[in-house]
Amino acid sequence: MSPESIEVLISLLFPLVLLIGTYLIGTLLERRHFTDLRAREEHFRGFPAITFENLPAGWEATSSDVVQGSVVVSLDYFKRFIAALRALVGGRVKSYEPLLDRARREANLRMIEDATSRGFHAVINVRLETSRMASARGDGKGTAGIEILAYGTAIRLASPPS
């Protein structure tokens, strides 16, 4: 085998190994995160985090404050590769969907955890915001990650829900 063909083989193999490796790691992390999300969502199931701007009728707030939860996510190599291929033909970028779903749910949970740890009973006027974080490389044209921010008005009720 000539040194040249070894070079070619390495340049072909390296991306392939990277793809397989990041797929395996990414899948494992994603599965674990979804399990964790479901458990915590089950735990906070009874905690109202709602999008009403005003207090629902019958609720009486004694105090309030802003609560927020924020998550920064980035893509793994495998997802990026698939999305790049997808971008050639267009269509639903399925490889991004679980990632963004995880990020939204995680941000929401962190906001709720912020509220419960400070003794609030509910969060109203919940909003989600997304912003792109520019990468330092390539004159800021690339994307380093996405931040998902969940925030709302936490309220302490005069008569807490049972």
Q: Which residues are near other proteins by CB under 8 A? A: 2, 4, 8, 11-12, 15, 23, 27, 34, 38, 41-42, 45-48, 50, 56-58, 78-82, 84-89, 92, 94-95, 97-98, 100-101, 104-105, 161
Per residue, the 3-state secondary structure of the chain, as one string, reads: CCHHHHHHHHHHHHHHHHHHHHHHHHHHHHHHHHHHHHHHHHHCCCCCECCCCCCCCCCCEEEEEEEEEEEEECCCHHHHHHHHHHHHHCCCCCCCHHHHHHHHHHHHHHHHHHHHHCCCCEEEEEEEEEEEEECCCHHHCCEEEEEEEEEEEEEEECCCCC
Would you say 26 or 67 has its CB closer to other proteins?
26
**Minimum gap (Å) between residue 116 Cβ and other proteins:** 14
Nearer to other proteins by C-beta: 43 or 118? 43
Smallest distance, other proteins to C-beta of residue 151, A: 18
Nearer to other proteins, 56 or 140 (CB): 56
Smallest gap from residue 27 Cβ to other proteins (A)? 8
For the bound state, the minimum distance from the C-beta of residue 63 to other proteins, rounded and expressed in Å, comes to 20
> Distances in Å between the alpha carbon of 137 and those of 75, 78, 83, 87?
16, 20, 20, 21
Q: Is 91 or 117 the residue whose CB approaches other proteins more closely?
A: 91
The backbone torsions φ and ψ at residue 43, rounded to the nearest 5 degrees and listed phi first, read -65, -40
To other proteins, the closest distance from the beta carbon of 17 in angstroms equals 12
> Among residues 81 and 143, whose Cβ is nearest to other proteins?
81
